[in-house]
Amino acid sequence: MKDLLCDGFQDAVENSLVRHKSILDVLTKFQESNARVNRSVVKAVTSCGCLSVKAGKKEVPPDITFSELKTFMESHVEGALCEHCREIIQAEMGQHLYYLAALCNLLGLNLYDTIITEHKKLEALGIFHCQ
């Protein structure tokens, strides 16, 4: 399928990726970008404090249904990203998407098709998708 935004982004990545064109470079840069996303979220908690994490063991009642489980569970995130942290995390996520598109290019995959395939699975399986 064609999607102007995804295909345009994937083409721009293809045209800009020169130095780290090896699959090994792209794989390690993809992994590094993932770590940078994680680190920027952690810094929002530990350095800035705009977010906090309140987590503990959750006792799940034995009689709860699977459909009720979603409303019972929590994200453990409190607060909201400040503008500074939002910019940093969004930039790191952009780099992560860049290397995902680069990986798709090297493997002959279309990013948009990958998203559509995953979306179809999600629509078909709903809450059972990632169990």
Residue pair 106/44 in contact (Cβ under 8 Å)? The answer is: no
pLDDT at 114: 94
Q: Is the pLDDT of residue 2 over 80?
A: no
Token pair for 86: 């939002």
More confident residue, 130 or 106: 106
Q: How far apart are CA 106 and CA 57, in angstroms?
A: 42
**Domain 4-128 belongs to what topology?**
Helix Hairpins (1.10.287)
Question: Which pLDDT score, from 0 to 100, does residue 127 have?
Answer: 65
For 5-28, write each residue's pLDDT tens digit.
999 999 999 999 888 789 999 999
Alpha carbon distance 76, 90 (integer Å): 20
At 112 the pLDDT is 95
Confidence at residue 14, expressed as pLDDT on a 0 to 100 scale: 94
d(CA 21, CA 28): 11
> What string of H, E and C letters represents the secondary structure of 16-58?
HCCCCCCHHHHHHHHHHHHHHHHHHHHHHHHHHCCEEECCCCC
Rounded mean pLDDT of 98-117? Answer: 96
pLDDT score for 68: 82
Asked if residue 1 has pLDDT above 80, the reply is no
What is the pTM for the complete model shown?
A: 0.85
- Domain borders along the chain are 4-128
The continuous run of DSSP H or E covering 107 comes out as: helix 83-107
Per residue in 56-102, pLDDT tens?
888 888 888 877 887 778 889 999 999 999 999 999 999 999 999 99
pLDDT of 129 reads 60
